[in-house]
Structure 1
């Protein structure tokens, strides 16, 4: 897996143009590994008459059979024994079903280098002690979701003075503790050290609305920041536009727009997409994005809306080389963003409803038949 090592240690995390051949080689290696070690995945590729050695050029990436995220919620596809998975994470769940993704040593090593390089590129690493307000889940042994692990994990990129969680585990479940958050905010606002918010945009926004309802403002120390991830989930109906969110962040916390950051990812695609100063998700070297027509699943040109297909050779534990999300998005040419990064950037439009992803469901049926499941 030398090609994977080279890819995940590439100096410039957004040099997609300079890593095209390396990315294809790493994908070919990864596909060959899963073909040899995961009988179910091999059956899927055989069903579509696809072999790992067919991955020769960038154009071939679109020919690799895609696995819908819904498929992982119903089936476990492992290419290494579970005993070799150092970490396992689950999705937040769709109708009670969750994807289970494992990380072997090489996958964790790759993930560490990816996160470190992107954090350094965006100047998120800091030696300054920091207070954390985590608008997400308090760690608990019953919660193995990726969003819970990452929200806490990112509090280690600075020396953490204190961590306060919005969702606390009580009486066998999670409960939102806005009163505890507000008391902590009052204390943080008097600190000489900055505050960093981590977690769901919905709960962050609900906290700001609660402060507004109570007539409270807590201007936070200079260099305080808001990091958002995980999407709006079940609160998509309450989702507000970014300008409204930024205005409230300034009004309630004195945090300017340039200190509000967002990330994008999925448990089935554990790649870190961090937005630039213009709030665009540039594609890092560790992944590629294909936008596919909702009806035909054929790739569409940049600038055209369709279903988001994400590719990466990161993991040997689970065959997540090419996954189809239920997100609608547009891939834009990199030079359309004034930030200077030349990598294409992904615009997420929203999620399609269950009734609107019949093509994905049909594809999943084909995969099941091909795998003999």
Structure 2
């Protein structure tokens, strides 16, 4: 797909610089381009829009709220791709327990490059332009196959360009390499290391291990970046406040930044802002929809999160309805120097409710010849 004026404008700006109203105009233009692009090139996507959203009428919309969307779960049962298989340079898979269906997301070189460029801009906003020592709370085997990446592997690969002297703190049996970690931290003392991991792994294999071996680290200049949802921690009755408190007690890490994203939509990476809300960049946005009617809701009202991204060109993942419940808390906050919407995630929609919202999408679709 040729690079458009809309994406040029977004790539030329700093990630949190555009006021929401200005960003929405550009993002709406880009979303129309992507919707037409995928309608023309992906037969399954075209079939869906013809059946659910009135066909080519769905290509004409004046606001993001009127843009057609797909349920994110559709990628677990369908292969949606807008490029030839020969153009795919990387396939991402979502996380899932054994036996669960996983999403398979196909990236071509152009989409992968857009993902890389925008992630660099977002990361530099939070971490600065200099690469820093980085501790991955995972094992090196998670990134061995760079052409086909799990959610964990994709997360690590996305962070590697920002890492200097990366260290994998877990062995393949998921045990913490305490001695190796201590040596690494001594070697990089005073260099403000970054720790990166998926939330439940940070908790189970780092925080709890340090507590069990009665080892306390003191890393006040370190930053922890973590993601992956709170489902497993919520099952253990671990709140975000307890997570931060025990991390501080065990490792002395004061700066903790959570971020929200998903394999199914490249470009949608929402980092925690200084108010501890998730912040939309200029490359993506969210819409909150009523769980029963799917009508858009105003700020302060909780509902299903729809995510919009300016990046996906190789597959129709630019407008997706998630299974997460959230609420918009504010927008364009001058006190923190960040424009755009910011929001909280409240949990997941119950499966019984989800069927009511998306069963239309689960009916048999005409398959391409």
Decide whether the 8 Å contact of 1:282 with 1:346 is kept in 2. Answer: yes
Match for 2:40 among 9, 33, 36? Answer: 36
Q: Could you state the TM-score of these two structures normalised by the residue count of structure 2? A: 0.88
> Please, which runs of 5 or more residues in structure 2 have no aligned partner?
none
Aligned residue among 182, 186, 192 for 2:182: 186
Does the alignment pair 1:333 with 2:330?
yes
Structure 1 residues not aligned, in runs of 5+: 169-174
Seen in structure 2, the aligned counterparts of structure 1 residues 337 and 267 have a Cα distance that, compared at 3 Å, is farther
Q: Which moved more, 1:88-97 or 1:297-306?
A: 88-97
Q: How many residues align?
A: 357
After the TM superposition, list the runs of 4 or more consecutive aligned residues in structure 1 that deviate by more than 6 angstroms. Answer: 370-373
Equivalent residue runs for 1:37-186 within 5 Å: 37-47=41-51, 48-51=53-56, 54-58=59-63, 61-93=64-96, 95-128=99-132, 130-135=133-138, 138-141=142-145, 144-159=149-164, 161-166=165-170, 168=172, 175-178=173-176, 180=177, 182-186=178-182
Q: Do the aligned partners of 2:200 and 2:228 also contact (CA within 8 Å) in 1?
A: no
Name the stretch that deviates more: 143-152 or 27-36.
143-152
2:198 and 2:118 map into 1 onto residues whose CA distance is: 22
Distance 2:316 2:114 in 1: 15
Aligned to 1:219: 218
Deviates more, 1:316-325 or 1:204-213: 204-213
Question: Over aligned residue pairs, what C-alpha RMSD do you find?
Answer: 2.5
Q: 1:22 aligns with which of 26, 31, 48?
A: 26
TM-score of the superposition, structure 1-length normalised? 0.87
What SS does the corresponding residue of 1:27 show, helix, strand or coil?
Answer: helix
Alpha-carbon contact 1:66-1:324 (below 8 Å) kept = yes
